[in-house]
Structure 1
């Protein structure tokens, strides 16, 4: 027992004796005096026992005793469940002890390297702000959250979170924010591009309206007819853009719902060719069909698959040289899939543009695309339709020779049911996308 506890214990004993004597004299009851003495002795014994077993520290203040851990307490890092805990975390996780990496899960080792175990954290994460909170004066003082780049791939962005475990230990969690930031950038770009695509023709229409309101310019019949023709073209361009945006929105809304119909792709290809012929398209005679009519049907959405074929053929018309064939092929691709290909003979596309062709509003030649009536959404719609049908999209092109777009679609196990050829409803929908 420490010297610092002797004083309070002695004082308690004397207070007990005096209190018992006072009660005995004042009440004249021996039992009351004995009871008072026993209570005081019990309190004294409790204080002595607490001091001996270390529950009350020598330097503790009387108002707030400090609880210390038992002598046989197990260190946090020696607990077997701590390794299982950090391994269960899906994101990279580290436990820092005295500025060194004491524990790292598999995700962290894959990101930073297996050599980081036991290494100074400043060598594994080279960032001044991180260093300040892990080994600096502010280490372990508070929970910190910050954005971090320079770890992993060049364009990866991370959210780093540091939380204190004890005065010299912290847990570090790294969450990859690259996908979220890429999605946010796509959203911002999409809104900007959509606004631009709508604002440009709208500004043209408003300008022509102002001109036609002028008595002299608007009174000329030839000028009025020319302006009205341009206004009609710009209005229809906006209508096509709005239709494509709504179509893309509907496809994305159904992205995770598998289609339930059985669709004959060869029959749809035949129907699409008939639509172009019946609509009197200038290049309808350039369509060349190579169809394996024995191909089994796929599980799909007939309206969306019809739109997919229509978009691919329309693109081939726009970018293939006039008078050259646009070849549509449907054939088996092994026992479990069929493949649809649309090929043109045109100028082709440079390799650096191929990865971005399915981005919304991306155009290799913006002026040519707009002159041909394109909205910049055709291949984006194709990509989302293919994704919904769990298929694969591949674009190959040779500069000066042409482009081939291939769509591979899975065949369900039970493919004994063959649907009828595309209905009149599908034909009308194809015409509406023209």
Structure 2
């Protein structure tokens, strides 16, 4: 506000006061002989007399607007909120779950994350109503008594199995003066469940990978020692052992290739492919490549697709890897039905590719875990077929990179259906591919 604006505001306010005073005097003059007396009086005198008559009726009613206007012009700051008002607001703004407790353990404030984590928490209730962990409650009492912060890790089984960490920080008045009594307690929660699950997955992965590599290595080492010793001059044993050694070497090679492929896919998981790929061409290539396996097992691979190209945005090599794994699994594990059906259908803006077999099917308890690394329904049978336990994990990560969805349906005794849903490319892009 400029100085001239402040002056005009003060003048207008003073003029308003004078008019009000004259009206008060006019009302008083009615009892002294009429309104003419009030009109004849000088404005300055009217203001003084009106103030004496009205007292606080004029000036306090508007709370001294001239002083307020000058204060606004000078930029006078408002009084800051008290500390006991700021602290609950700060707790409610924290991104992690947090509760503010008074010295008695009553919940004073709770943020949205804490309400989501502890559904039973209510402001005004004792904290024991929401947190029923004796170690945490004892730590709160101890922190309130001695003013020392504490950290507790605890597990919950209800409503879900999870691991949490509680940070208990006592708050003293002022600048945390030593010896001052505890005024409040800040109770924060961190969900450690995702972190521990990642750690467990890493440990399991290393253990499984080591086991998968150790078995063929042990076989190779044993056959080499045999060939160097008792079977040194046995031609028949040498031929038999060399064949097994070759199979074990190829098994290790496939495992290492799958591990490297999985690593590359995870490295680029945030980058969605943008090249247009014709799925009819991709699956035709897969069908031709796996034809010898189908003929060897006497399994027919049927392919039902639209006459025109069906384009999606993706990486051709990765999509070939997806459908090779799915069709090869159907041939190896579901080929007992003598037929594998591959189909492409359009569903609105999406394209759905399904691979169905008529084999023994998969029990329901195994279906949710099929895409885990090294998970096998039948470990011995999988190894006999040359599987590494990583095929469906690779499929899942490639489909996720393409922003698609992998579906698995299976009925024991009736076979299994694996489906991949991808977003179709634009109509303009499909026309361009057709013209080419």
Aligned residues: 346
8 Å Cα contact 1:305/1:385 also seen in 2: yes
CA 1:351–1:409: 2 relative to 1, 3 Å: same
CA 1:97–1:248: 2 relative to 1, 3 Å: same
User: For residue 416 of structure 2, what is the aligned residue in structure 1?
Assistant: 403
Range 256-265 or range 159-168, more displaced? 159-168
Give yes or no for the alignment of 1:117 onto 2:123: yes
CA 1:318–1:151: 2 relative to 1, 3 Å: closer
Deviation string for 1:73-119 (max 9, x for gaps)? Answer: 9653434xx45433332321100112111111122123223553222
Equivalents in 1 of 2:347, 2:190: separation in Å?
Answer: 40
User: For residue 212 of structure 2, what is the aligned residue in structure 1?
Assistant: 197
Q: How does 1:137-152 map to 2 (within 5 A)?
A: 139=145, 141-150=147-156
Structure 2: tracts of 5 or more residues without a match: 1-78, 173-181
User: For residue 233 of structure 1, what is the aligned residue in structure 2?
Assistant: 247
CA 1:279–1:366: 2 relative to 1, 3 Å: closer
Give yes or no for the alignment of 1:92 onto 2:107: no
8 Å Cα contact 1:330/1:341 also seen in 2: yes
CA 1:108–1:140: 2 relative to 1, 3 Å: farther
User: For residue 270 of structure 1, what is the aligned residue in structure 2?
Assistant: 284
Deviation string for 1:398-428 (max 9, x for gaps)? Answer: 101111001101124465246879xxxxxxx
Structure 1: tracts of 5 or more residues without a match: 1-71, 422-434
Give yes or no for the alignment of 1:384 onto 2:390: no
Alignment counterpart, residue 332 of structure 1, candidates 333, 340, 346: 346
8 Å Cα contact 1:93/1:105 also seen in 2: yes
Partner SS for 2:338 = coil
CA 1:128–1:411: 2 relative to 1, 3 Å: same
Shift of 1:130: 1.6
Give yes or no for the alignment of 1:258 onto 2:301: no
Equivalents in 1 of 2:431, 2:166: separation in Å?
Answer: 55
Equivalents in 2 of 1:144, 1:330: separation in Å?
Answer: 59
Alignment counterpart, residue 174 of structure 1, candidates 153, 175, 189: 189
CA 1:144–1:374: 2 relative to 1, 3 Å: same
8 Å Cα contact 1:276/1:284 also seen in 2: no
8 Å Cα contact 1:297/1:418 also seen in 2: no
User: For residue 365 of structure 1, what is the aligned residue in structure 2?
Assistant: 378
Equivalents in 2 of 1:419, 1:224: separation in Å?
Answer: 58
Shift of 1:170: 1.4
Normalised to the residue count of structure 1, the TM-score between the two structures is 0.75
Equivalents in 2 of 1:151, 1:194: separation in Å?
Answer: 31
CA 1:374–1:278: 2 relative to 1, 3 Å: closer
Equivalents in 2 of 1:182, 1:255: separation in Å?
Answer: 20
8 Å Cα contact 1:295/1:332 also seen in 2: no
Give yes or no for the alignment of 1:183 onto 2:190: no
Q: How does 1:38-187 map to 2 (within 5 A)?
A: 76-79=83-86, 82-98=87-103, 99-136=105-142, 139=145, 141-150=147-156, 153-166=159-172, 167-187=182-202
Range 277-286 or range 230-239, more displaced? 277-286
Partner SS for 2:153 = strand
8 Å Cα contact 2:337/2:359 also seen in 1: no
State the Cα RMSD in Å. Answer: 2.3
Deviation string for 1:350-383 (max 9, x for gaps)? Answer: 0000000000000000000000000000000000
Shift of 1:145: 2.2
8 Å Cα contact 2:153/2:166 also seen in 1: yes
8 Å Cα contact 2:294/2:331 also seen in 1: no
8 Å Cα contact 2:280/2:305 also seen in 1: yes
Shift of 1:279: 7.9
Normalised to the residue count of structure 2, the TM-score between the two structures is 0.74
Equivalents in 2 of 1:108, 1:368: separation in Å?
Answer: 49
